[in-house]
Structure 1
Amino acid sequence: MPGMLLAAQDDLVLADRPTGLLVAIAVAAIALLLVLIIKVRLHAFFSLAVVSILTALAGGIGIGDVVDVVVEGFSSTVGEVALLVGFGAVLGRLVEVSGGAQVLSDRMLRTFGERKAPLALAVASLFYAFPIFLDAGFIVMLPIIYTVARRLGGSFMLYVLPSIGAFLMMHALTPPHPGPTAAATVMGADVGLVVLVALLVGLPTWYLAGYRLSLVIARRYPNMPVPNLLGEPEDTDEDERPGFGVIIFCLLLPLVLIFFNTLLTTLTETGALDQENVFFRLSELVGATPIALLITALVAMWLLYVRPRSGRAVGGVLEDLVDKALAPVCSIILITGAGGAFGEVLTATGIGGLVAGGLDEAGLPVILAGFLVAVAFRVAQGSATVAATTAGSIMAPAVAELGLSGIALAAIVVAITAGSITFSHVNDSGFWLIGRFCGFDTLTTLKTWTVIATATGFCGFGLSWLVFAIAA
Structure 2
Amino acid sequence: MSHTALLTIAVAGVAALLLLILRARVQPFVALVVVSIGVALAAGVPAADLVKTIEEGMGATLGHIATIIALGAMIGRVIELSGGAHAFAHSLIEKFGSRRTPLALTVAGFVLGIPVFFEVGLIILMPIAYGVARTARKPLLVYALPMGAAMLTVHAFLPPHPGAVAVAEAIGASQGLVLMMGIPITALVVLTGYLVSRRLTRREYPMDPAVHAEVYGEPETGGGTVPAPADTGSAPSGDGRATAVLNRTVSSGSEVRPPSFGMVLALIVTPILLILVGTIGQNILAEGSGLRAVLTVLGAPMVALLIDVVLCGFFLGARRGWDRSRIAEVMGSALPPVAMVILVAGAGGVFGKVLVASGIGDAIADVLEHTGLPVLLLAFLTSLALRAAQGSATVALITTAGILTPLLHRADLSTSHLSLVALAMGAGALALSHINDAGYWMFTKLAGLDVAAGLRTWTVLTTVMGCAGFALTAALWPLV
TM-score range, shorter chain: 0.5 to 0.7
Q: Which runs of 5+ in 2 are unaligned?
A: 131-139, 212-249, 387-395, 431-436, 444-450
Residue 333 (structure 2) pairs with residue 315 (structure 1)? no
The letter for the 1-side match of 2:364 is V
The structure 2 residue matched to 1:71, chosen from 55, 79, 89, is 55
1:453 Cα deviation after fit: 8.3
- 2:347 is matched with which residue? 338
Please list the CA deviations of residues 241-298 of structure 1 after superposition, one character each: whole Å capped at 9, or x if unmatched.
Answer: 2222222221121122112201211113xxxxx3222221111211111111111111
Structure 2 contact 156–429 (Cα < 8 Å) conserved: no
Seen in structure 2, the aligned counterparts of structure 1 residues 453 and 120 have a Cα distance that, compared at 3 Å, is same
- 2:362 is matched with which residue? 353
Structure 2 contact 348–399 (Cα < 8 Å) conserved: no
Aligned equivalents of 1:375 and 1:394: distance in 2? 18
Structure 1 contact 371–416 (Cα < 8 Å) conserved: yes
SS of corresponding position for 1:284: helix
Residue 6 (structure 2) pairs with residue 22 (structure 1)? yes
- 2:299 is matched with which residue? 287
- The aligned runs of 1:393-408 (5 Å cut-off) are 394-395=410-411
- 2:275 is matched with which residue? 258
- 1:429 is matched with which residue? none
Seen in structure 2, the aligned counterparts of structure 1 residues 289 and 204 have a Cα distance that, compared at 3 Å, is closer
RMSD, aligned α-carbons: 5.0
Residue 21 (structure 2) pairs with residue 37 (structure 1)? yes
- 1:297 is matched with which residue? 309
- The aligned runs of 1:17-166 (5 Å cut-off) are 18-112=2-96, 119-120=103-104, 122-123=106-107, 137-139=114-116, 145-153=122-130, 159-166=147-154
Aligned equivalents of 2:377 and 2:460: distance in 1? 18
Structure 2 contact 146–197 (Cα < 8 Å) conserved: no
Seen in structure 2, the aligned counterparts of structure 1 residues 159 and 26 have a Cα distance that, compared at 3 Å, is farther
- 1:237 is matched with which residue? 254
The letter for the 2-side match of 1:165 is T
Structure 2 contact 376–421 (Cα < 8 Å) conserved: yes
- 1:276 is matched with which residue? 288
Seen in structure 2, the aligned counterparts of structure 1 residues 423 and 99 have a Cα distance that, compared at 3 Å, is closer
The letter for the 2-side match of 1:164 is L
Structure 1 contact 158–215 (Cα < 8 Å) conserved: no
Please list the CA deviations of residues 302-324 of structure 1 after superposition, one character each: whole Å capped at 9, or x if unmatched.
Answer: 11111121xxx712222222222
Aligned equivalents of 1:286 and 1:280: distance in 2? 10
1:222 Cα deviation after fit: 7.2
1:46 Cα deviation after fit: 2.0
Aligned equivalents of 2:200 and 2:48: distance in 1? 49
Identity of aligned pairs, percent? 25
Structure 1 contact 103–244 (Cα < 8 Å) conserved: yes
Please list the CA deviations of residues 312-356 of structure 1 after superposition, one character each: whole Å capped at 9, or x if unmatched.
Answer: x71222222222222222222122212222232234333343233
Structure 2 contact 73–116 (Cα < 8 Å) conserved: yes
Structure 1 contact 37–47 (Cα < 8 Å) conserved: yes
Seen in structure 2, the aligned counterparts of structure 1 residues 124 and 359 have a Cα distance that, compared at 3 Å, is same
The letter for the 1-side match of 2:308 is T
1:439 Cα deviation after fit: 6.8
Please list the CA deviations of residues 89-111 of structure 1 after superposition, one character each: whole Å capped at 9, or x if unmatched.
Answer: 11111111111111101112223
The letter for the 2-side match of 1:289 is P
TM-score calculated relative to the size of structure 2? 0.63
Structure 1 contact 165–452 (Cα < 8 Å) conserved: no
Aligned equivalents of 2:358 and 2:157: distance in 1? 30
SS of corresponding position for 1:240: coil
Number of corresponding residues:
391
1:382 Cα deviation after fit: 3.7
Aligned equivalents of 1:333 and 1:53: distance in 2? 19
Aligned equivalents of 1:351 and 1:264: distance in 2? 38
The letter for the 2-side match of 1:150 is P
Seen in structure 2, the aligned counterparts of structure 1 residues 71 and 278 have a Cα distance that, compared at 3 Å, is same
- 1:132 is matched with which residue? none
- The aligned runs of 1:410-449 (5 Å cut-off) are 420-421=425-426, 424=429
Aligned equivalents of 2:473 and 2:30: distance in 1? 40
The structure 2 residue matched to 1:326, chosen from 335, 342, 348, is 335
Seen in structure 2, the aligned counterparts of structure 1 residues 64 and 214 have a Cα distance that, compared at 3 Å, is farther
The letter for the 2-side match of 1:241 is P
Structure 1 contact 100–241 (Cα < 8 Å) conserved: yes
Aligned equivalents of 1:413 and 1:342: distance in 2? 20
Aligned equivalents of 1:215 and 1:27: distance in 2? 40
Aligned equivalents of 1:293 and 1:438: distance in 2? 31
Aligned equivalents of 1:112 and 1:320: distance in 2? 35
Seen in structure 2, the aligned counterparts of structure 1 residues 373 and 24 have a Cα distance that, compared at 3 Å, is same
1:74 Cα deviation after fit: 1.6
1:112 Cα deviation after fit: 3.6
1:161 Cα deviation after fit: 2.7
Aligned equivalents of 1:296 and 1:415: distance in 2? 26
Seen in structure 2, the aligned counterparts of structure 1 residues 297 and 170 have a Cα distance that, compared at 3 Å, is closer
Structure 1 contact 89–326 (Cα < 8 Å) conserved: yes
Structure 2 contact 282–292 (Cα < 8 Å) conserved: yes
Structure 1 contact 257–287 (Cα < 8 Å) conserved: yes
The structure 2 residue matched to 1:247, chosen from 257, 264, 273, is 264
Structure 1 contact 209–459 (Cα < 8 Å) conserved: no
1:141 Cα deviation after fit: 7.8
Seen in structure 2, the aligned counterparts of structure 1 residues 48 and 317 have a Cα distance that, compared at 3 Å, is same
Aligned equivalents of 2:205 and 2:41: distance in 1? 40
Aligned equivalents of 2:65 and 2:419: distance in 1? 25
1:121 Cα deviation after fit: 5.3
Aligned equivalents of 1:21 and 1:118: distance in 2? 53
SS of corresponding position for 1:108: helix
Structure 1 contact 48–342 (Cα < 8 Å) conserved: yes
SS of corresponding position for 1:61: coil
